Amino acid sequence: MTEKRDYYEVLGVSKNSSDGDIRKAFRSLARKFHPDKNPNDSEAEKKFKEVQEAYAILSNPEERRKYDTFGHSGHGSSPFGPGGFQGVNISLDDLFGGGFDGIFNQFFGSSRRRSSKGDDLIYRHTVPFQVAMDGSEEEIEIQALRNCIECDGSGSNSPDKVKICPACEGRGRVERLERLGPFTQRAVSDCPSCEGRGKIIPDPCNSCGGQGMSQQSKKVKFTVPPGISSGVRLRMRGYGGASRSENGVPGDLYIEIEMHRHPWFERDSSDLLMGLPVGFSDLALGSKIELSHIDGKPLVVNISAGSQPGDTIEIKGRGLPIQGSSRRGSVMVVLKLDIPKKLSRDQKKTISSISDILGSNLDNVEERIREEASRRRG
């Protein structure tokens, strides 16, 4: 008779490993050698059984203590009782998703049904830039899976003839136990008798083909909050596709906001940026320029005498609303020197007459460059 390998060796852990380390090792090996991943592989099946047996002992504090004391032979009796090791129920679903508690539920004889959720939907919706300031109430039309109008979701032309599927008792899913030598594995799949619907429909609806659902148009109203920006997704719970499962929940609707560009403002979070072309006299002598603004009030830009091209004027509290706050961002105005590309003869004559006074002194140009760099660098 082949001698059994040490259970710690089977799982690749040491004798002082924690329960968490043992669980982690078991899950990794069970995934690797699970029969569903290794069909018709007798060696993988053998290793899977060996891993199951090792974990059944080492995951039980009392049995682990006995094993640490007596080893495999103990005092002549099996730690599993007269019948020997009977295996544990482990499904591939539990190994690859749903959390580790699913495996413990199987050890202790309980199980939970996962609720089925309908499809999530994503729609893009474009709004004017003004919405970023004021917010708005919007409406879109979506296509989503809903209860069939013709049969009211029953799936049948004769709803009174619809019966609960006796094979799955209306659950739409069936479980079966598969024997792998001395081990038992639980497999869950759609009920073949009702194709996962949970009911027998002798006279299927002509509109939905017995599914009880169909794609339908629906108008959805939603609120776009002030301060929103392009790319933000608004989530509407339960407005997605209906679940195909009788006990399931609808999916969610995600509305991704796209925003038209403003004629001159660029956006930096809640701040608004703009370039303002001005003349030489505006910079040299100072000026006040009044503009229309998206908040409905005039935007006044005060240019100080002696301002330089590229200077930025910050007008606080006139930007976009800051979400989650009663405050607003700023308007940042960058001054741009507007030089005409073409000049009339009179304009040229006038500029030439004052160029000696206003023109740059090229004799000390390097010193002026140093001064400009010093101002720019702060």
**% pLDDT > 70, the chain:** 81
According to CATH, the superfamily of the domain at 7-107 is DnaJ domain (1.10.287.110)
Per-residue pLDDT tens over the stretch 57-86:
888 887 888 788 777 755 344 444 444 444
pTM exceeds 0.85: no
Per-residue pLDDT tens over the stretch 148-173:
888 877 788 888 888 888 888 777 77
Tell me which of 2.60.40.10, 1.10.760.10, 2.60.260.20, 3.40.50.10800 is the CATH number of domain 266-377.
Answer: 2.60.260.20
Measured CA to CA, the distance from residue 333 to residue 274 in angstroms comes to 5
Residue 334 structure tokens:
């960058």
Per-residue pLDDT tens over the stretch 334-364:
999 988 888 888 888 887 877 766 666 566 7
Domain spanning 121-162+201-259: CATH 3.30.565.10: no
Query: Residue 329, Cα to own-chain centre: how many angstroms?
Result: 28
Instruction: Tell me the CB-side half-sphere exposure of residue 183, using CA atoms within 13 A.
Output: 22
Measured CA to CA, the distance from residue 212 to residue 202 in angstroms comes to 13
Measured CA to CA, the distance from residue 8 to residue 101 in angstroms comes to 22
pLDDT at 1 (0 to 100): 45
pLDDT at 348 (0 to 100): 84
* Chain region(s) in the chain for CATH 2.60.260.20: 121-162+201-259, 266-377
Per-residue pLDDT tens over the stretch 253-277:
999 999 999 999 999 999 999 999 9
Measured CA to CA, the distance from residue 333 to residue 1 in angstroms comes to 89
| Contact predicate 244/119, CB 8 Å | no
